[in-house]
Structure 1
């Protein structure tokens, strides 16, 4: 009897233990969406399943999930790759990258003339204090390590900037490098590539980049190419010298044997508006003979630079202190005025590019003039003075007052030219913007609206409203085309085994809201963003998750 009682108790004990629920098959399944996989193929109805940080299945997915997102009526696409961004330091200040994530961006690619690193030789280490931490680096490896330590909401890749390379060896001198110094530059590039840079980038319109000859560029691009890198270039002249500048990029690609990506291709001088077809013909002809030259574009007709870019290149030699010295010198001012109004062969002149129209220059940086066009600034500075100060003298005075730097938006190119470039199969999309925010420390200045609206603007304005692009082609330009340029084989597409960077948006609602005079407005219509398998944007609200990673090129 006692044995029976014990047996009954044991049976009760066994029965009382609840069965352990089976683990879900997936961490996340996005169901019922229109899947645009990034390849350019037509959309299809289906699901995307995520396990860990990778995509586990695409199509009709069966099985359970820890979380399910119903994407009925929505587009499910790869996360957007911003091929040209300047968020090098804003990501330390606020790793959430709000203005980019809310556009559907999951990867930022950094570097133009300058890059965050390397800072070696005659350059000094960079130190940033933010979020209660101090970040410091000198090398590309060190910068990427600090990005990981900071925690970011997007993935981060970087080029090595030509300005860094040049100044690490030459400092602020405009002298020609000796053969030994040129070898040092190539060694700096090689070290940066081994540290994880994806290639060489440059800004050739201003020094020190403008000091490099075509032959220099070929040899420096080869240094990056030996480690599998590309050359990403802001050309020497986007105005009246645009055709020669594009020919130079084709020559570099052909002679160096490296892929070249022309940054924000445009015709930025009203004298040549309407001739983008000639630029397209140059690139098409080069590609037909096997030269790997491509481009990217932002979907706006105004560009961002600096009032200091109106000052001729020779006045910049020696760095900012020397520039300020020359801006104060009457004799130097006379020479600068002659060069600004008359031009210098081969120099891209922002002043003549906008026809000398001060109203087409909008101050975008922080300070007393932010949000004002330069005609208003000049008018205020001239008020009550007899004789009226010359407008160029006012420009010089403003630059001196603002320590040589006044970020400015220039209205210098044409919608028809821009859309023609955008439509080319070799042209991808990049913002040329920053990760900013509508509140907090990253709400500052009067930035170009592209920091808030580039990718939704393409999808809303140029796909849905105007039909310039097919939806699938637009998504390809923002995903797999950019990934292919960088050699990122596991991002930019929705397929099993790829990293789970995913964007879900409403094709009927997606749109940019930021304007030139009211830029601090987030885009609308992007509902979910997933970075490395983690939901970063949930029903249009940032979750605060920081699952982004520093991406390192493997040479």
Structure 2
């Protein structure tokens, strides 16, 4: 070194010393600092930082200063895993507009699709799916094809899906109510197997209405054996949420026990005023099954009104043969006599929405597009019968409205009880799902009069049931929205904040977070959701959508 210093003139040596060293490359893409970390496990919160590199969480705890391309100061805010909506109906809306506005603004980073129906399969007697969206004609026949379509289109949230049993059934049976032959059941199992290989997380059912209501317990068990082979789950809207709720819960428990698959009961409720207050008995059924080793769980949405259709008031036999036959029966005077009797008195094994609300038309709010949007059915009936002495039977008005509207009138039914819902929500095995879809407050996706759960489910839990009423603790509420849902479907590397997990993160203000959507004015985003990050990219920035679409179709990895 002394030899070198002799060769370099003093002035030059001084200049070299003064040259700035190259700046070190930032170690992280994003660091969220000073937040209250609620990691999704149910553990107590702690103050700390979270660092993201690429699409993964790189560090959690204390992160040195000056090592990030961007820093977010989360002082006073909660930093949580992105919410996983275990029960969503956004299949087509995500293709129409991938921004998923009403979900992202709730803090949702992953949507789990499928109930009775799913985006696929659509083959055989069920026509291929076709949709014009974002200026393109889209078509697919398999669940794998749907996932590929989602990835090509671009979405702001991750997308997972069950395979709907209705799809599988109708691909083989069409609109017939005939019993499937052994060969036809094998065809259904082959379709189900294909969907599971495509990445479905399980089979979902709507057992309340055809074709789901046509399936016997034995047939459900046979189908779920295919699901078990692929390590999937059985997610079920049970056969009846009303007077037969206990038998219906027992049925899906039996299916899970015999097939050896986990069960998740979709939006657990008691939806008939005659049984309000009996949720503790339903819980005892589930707890007893769990004690003997059956993995049965449930989810709820934080509202006491459910969304269905006026067509659900019509008994199952009238739906056989599809829409054309359905409308013919509504018009036939002889069939109307039978329909009125069945609606008024009930049919064994059928969940009757009309009697569930005590025959009270004021507890039915039309939510779909059309002439009656936003009106309760008592107002519709009054308007339709004005100046017609003697007043027609309200059930005749129901039939006429369904005929006029092409057989479908989406409707919100006020049919379950707050105390029952709260009790279900508090159970350790009960998670949160919206049963909603990704609408928007402007543009093409502002349509109809949708249920407020489409906009407000997750902030409502955090604001009303955690902060204001203390029904849940913050850490447990977040667990029910994140890791519990991830664990149910076997979604790896999401649902908790930890190094190495995918960087799906929601940052919210626990003091202001609340839903704003109502039954009569549903198109309103929430307060308090500040940042939403999906696969490491900021999608919601200080409450504003960034137009980023980093979401992915998530395919279940099948066991070897």
Give TM class, smaller chain.
over 0.9
Q: Which residue of structure 1 aligns with residue 36 of structure 2?
A: 34
Matched, 1:550 2:550: no
SS at match of 1:441: helix
Q: Residue 57 of structure 1: which of 49, 54, 59 is its match?
A: 59
SS at match of 2:443: coil
Q: Which residue of structure 2 aligns with residue 258 of structure 1?
A: 261
Cα distance per residue 1:404-436 (max 9 Å; x no partner) = 000000000000000000000000000000100
* Displacement after TM superposition at 1:93 (Å): 1.3
Q: Which residue of structure 2 aligns with residue 132 of structure 1?
A: 135
1:150 and 1:16, CA in 2 relative to 1: closer, same or farther beyond 3 A? farther
Q: Which residue of structure 1 aligns with residue 452 of structure 2?
A: 449
Q: TM-score, normalised by structure 2?
A: 0.96
1:315 and 1:14, CA in 2 relative to 1: closer, same or farther beyond 3 A? farther
* Displacement after TM superposition at 1:223 (Å): 1.0
1:13 and 1:90, CA in 2 relative to 1: closer, same or farther beyond 3 A? farther
Distance in 2 (CA, whole Å) between partners of 1:407 and 1:328 is 20
SS at match of 2:280: helix
* Displacement after TM superposition at 1:134 (Å): 2.2
Q: Which residue of structure 1 aligns with residue 302 of structure 2?
A: 299
Q: Which residue of structure 2 aligns with residue 215 of structure 1?
A: 218
Cα distance per residue 1:257-296 (max 9 Å; x no partner) = 0000000000000000000000000001110111100000
235-244 or 114-123: which moved more?
A: 114-123
Matched, 1:84 2:55: no
Distance in 1 (CA, whole Å) between partners of 2:417 and 2:200 is 33
Q: Residue 199 of structure 1: which of 198, 202, 218 is its match?
A: 202
* Displacement after TM superposition at 1:9 (Å): 13
Equivalent residue runs for 1:10-49 within 5 Å: 20-49=22-51
Q: Which residue of structure 2 aligns with residue 310 of structure 1?
A: 313
Cα distance per residue 1:191-216 (max 9 Å; x no partner) = 00001111000000000000001111
Distance in 1 (CA, whole Å) between partners of 2:15 and 2:224 is 73
Distance in 1 (CA, whole Å) between partners of 2:204 and 2:29 is 38
1:13 and 1:120, CA in 2 relative to 1: closer, same or farther beyond 3 A? farther
List gaps (5 residues or longer) in structure 1.
Answer: 1-6
Equivalent residue runs for 1:446-485 within 5 Å: 446-485=449-488
Cα distance per residue 1:373-392 (max 9 Å; x no partner) = 00000000001112211100
Cα distance per residue 1:34-70 (max 9 Å; x no partner) = 1000000000110110000000000111251000000
Q: Which residue of structure 2 aligns with residue 509 of structure 1?
A: 512
Matched, 1:410 2:437: no
SS at match of 2:34: strand
Q: Which residue of structure 2 aligns with residue 4 of structure 1?
A: none
Distance in 2 (CA, whole Å) between partners of 1:288 and 1:466 is 31
* Displacement after TM superposition at 1:10 (Å): 11
Matched, 1:235 2:238: yes
Q: TM-score, normalised by structure 1?
A: 0.97
Distance in 1 (CA, whole Å) between partners of 2:130 and 2:184 is 27
Distance in 2 (CA, whole Å) between partners of 1:507 and 1:205 is 38
Equivalent residue runs for 1:217-366 within 5 Å: 217-366=220-369
Cα distance per residue 1:83-108 (max 9 Å; x no partner) = 00000000111111011101100000
Distance in 1 (CA, whole Å) between partners of 2:503 and 2:125 is 41
SS at match of 2:444: coil
524-533 or 132-141: which moved more?
A: 132-141
SS at match of 1:82: strand
Q: Residue 117 of structure 1: which of 114, 120, 135 is its match?
A: 120
* Displacement after TM superposition at 1:221 (Å): 1.0
Equivalent residue runs for 1:177-196 within 5 Å: 177-196=180-199
Cα distance per residue 1:414-459 (max 9 Å; x no partner) = 0000000000000000000010000000100000000000000000
383-392 or 272-281: which moved more?
A: 383-392
SS at match of 1:475: helix
Distance in 2 (CA, whole Å) between partners of 1:208 and 1:447 is 25
Cα distance per residue 1:307-360 (max 9 Å; x no partner) = 000000000001111101111111111111110001000100000000000000
* Displacement after TM superposition at 1:364 (Å): 0.3
Paired residue total: 550
* Displacement after TM superposition at 1:135 (Å): 1.8
SS at match of 2:403: helix
* Displacement after TM superposition at 1:22 (Å): 2.0
Q: Which residue of structure 2 aligns with residue 3 of structure 1?
A: none
List gaps (5 residues or longer) in structure 2.
Answer: 1-8
* Displacement after TM superposition at 1:15 (Å): 9.4
Distance in 2 (CA, whole Å) between partners of 1:538 and 1:15 is 43
Q: Which residue of structure 1 aligns with residue 435 of structure 2?
A: 432
Matched, 1:368 2:371: yes
Distance in 1 (CA, whole Å) between partners of 2:94 and 2:20 is 47
